[in-house]
Chains A and B, each alone.
Chain A
Amino acid sequence: MRRRPRALVIVAGLLLLALVPPAAAALDQPFYVDLFRRMMIFALAALSLDLILGYGGMVSFGHAAYLGVGAYAVGILGFYGIESGFIQWPVAILASALAALVIGAVSLRTSGVSFIMITLAFAQMLYYLGISLETFGGDNGMPLRTRSRFGPLDLRNPYAFYYLVLALLTLLLFLGSRFVNARFGMVIRAAKSNEPRARAIGFSPYRYKLTAFVMSGGMCGLAGALLANQTEYLTPDFMHWTRSGEIMFMVILGGIGTLFGPVVGAVVLLLLEDVLSALTAHWQIILGPFLVLVVLFAKRGLFGLVPEAGERRG
């Protein structure tokens, strides 16, 4: 039997996440349910970025835009009295996928640094759009009246909400792993690896890359819908470029092109922020060098330290 250490780590990781609520209850620390739910929401955003960054080589430096579009879709619909999650969340996904379609259709005609700068510029445009929306709180943002309603599933129950996020994260990890290993995923990997070669053997990579970009945007929009419910507050800060940088850092820290790596990255980064900020107000002085060390000494990220099954070099 082939040993599959990465699969083991993934199963163990998801099990640990499933054990957080009972552990928090036992320790009488309900705060951790909130914290880990937040980590999983960012893990979902980082996972969506990894699909195009890690497998398609598309360095989108504006991924927070889709997080914001998803959150605003939920907040704005709620503002006008549409509180059903069955409407809010699909709208969040579609709206952010549409934003990704427009942004991707333009940005994917460029590459390298131009691509990074254009995706960043689009995200900043949406950020300023959010600031200008006075009806929805402008740059102060606005509180959500209620979390999304899903019939009997009550998201005000922190445990119900927690396990819904965990289920969605698990589902999308699974779907993501199908998609990167299917024919579709092989095309975007080929385009990342060597685009002239991919064209020479007969692939037209643009349409595949754009499709991946749109799927990634939609997935990040779902994370945005979750984030709005998590914070119960809507703010343009969701779309600020530093947020895009944070999401990208989660991917790099955990391991680019590994799907589960971004989950590890999100958990570690947010946990460090939480622990260190409790120790000192100058916690970023500790966090910064730590991150630099990880990037220097674990080039394939934390999850990249776990060997792949059947890895052969030779």
Chain B
Amino acid sequence: MAEPLLAIRGLAKRFGGLRATDGVDLAVAEGETHAIIGPNGAGKTTLIGQLAGDLRPDAGTMRFGGRDVTALDAPARSRLGLARSFQITSIFRDLTVLDNVALAVQAHAGHSFRFWRPARADQALGAPARAVLASVGLDTRADVLAANLAHGEQRQLEVAMALATKPRLLLLDEPVAGMGLEESQRMVRFLGALKGRLTIVLVEHDMDVVFMLADRVSVMVYGRIIATGTPAEVRANAAVRKAYLGEDTAA
């Protein structure tokens, strides 16, 4: 079998006495959409932070695209093709929507020690940025300040920024959090269309979203992955029902 695109072994992070992640093993194959579910406080966001390179693990290794990336920081991982969205919307609020996406293009277009040509007139940045905006349906909002977008649009912008880096792996931390029903359905359709073209790791509370999108699901409880399998397998797993689904289906 080919090496998985993402492979982590024994990943651990402690915050004082709290073991946020406690020996996580996970393998995600190229093209797979892999959801990570679990009750609040299970360590899912910590795991995303470790995958993205924001949090240094206390133990464990991570391989991505066939190389060991354990020691690489977030910018270096991004340049290798690992893109993320944040649970709490994180955008450049005081720049325009187009600027936000063009910056993501720029970060992957060589070094930025360029002092002369105006970046906003540079079609090498603007054209791909507009194409990505059109793909998420934000093209008519290109010149608006990002801060003035509606909440759902800001979530779309997050995803657009991640996509503009041409990632191999997309880490999505609750992409439909705080969205209305209609926006949320649109986002799910959009992510569904990405399925297969990209590898996606998705942390999500909304079980409908998870079961609609995921090829495989991992269940995380107290910093450990207690089960991994297809959505049907996970739903049938007794330990999972006990630890999670039974008590938290309303979330």
Contact = CB atoms under 8 A, between A and B. Distances in A.
Contacts of A187: 103, 106, 112
A193 B94 contact: yes
A196 interface: yes
B201 to A, nearest CB: 14
26 contacts: A182-B115, A183-B119, A183-B125, A184-B114, A187-B103, A187-B106, A190-B92, A193-B92, A196-B54, A198-B92, A198-B103, A199-B74, A200-B52, A200-B54, A200-B83, A200-B86, A201-B162, A201-B165, A202-B75, A202-B78, A202-B108, A202-B165, A203-B103, A203-B107, A203-B112, A204-B73
Interface string A284-314: 0000000000000000000000000000111
Nearest to A203: B107
A182 B78 contact: no
Majority DSSP secondary structure for residues of A touching B: helix
Nearest to A178: B116
Nearest to B85: A200
A194 interface: yes
Interface of B: 52, 54, 73-76, 78-79, 83-84, 86, 90-95, 99, 102-104, 106-108, 112-120, 122, 125, 143-145, 148, 161-162, 164-165
A145 interface: no
A194 B91 contact: yes
A72 B72 CA distance: 43
A257 to B, nearest CB: 9
A196 B90 contact: yes
B115 A193 contact: no
Given A182-B119, A203-B107, A193 B93 contact: yes
B119 A181 contact: yes
Most buried by A among B86, B91, B116, B145: B116
Contact of B143 (A178, A197, A312): A312
Given A199-B74, A200-B78, A203-B107, A313 B119 contact: no
Contact of B145 (A185, A189, A208, A313): A313
Interface string A171-195: 0000000110111111101100110
A211 interface: yes
Given A182-B115, A312-B144, A313-B145, A200 B74 contact: yes
Most buried by B among A184, A196, A202, A314: A202
A202 to B, nearest CB: 4
Nearest to A194: B92
B95 A200 contact: no
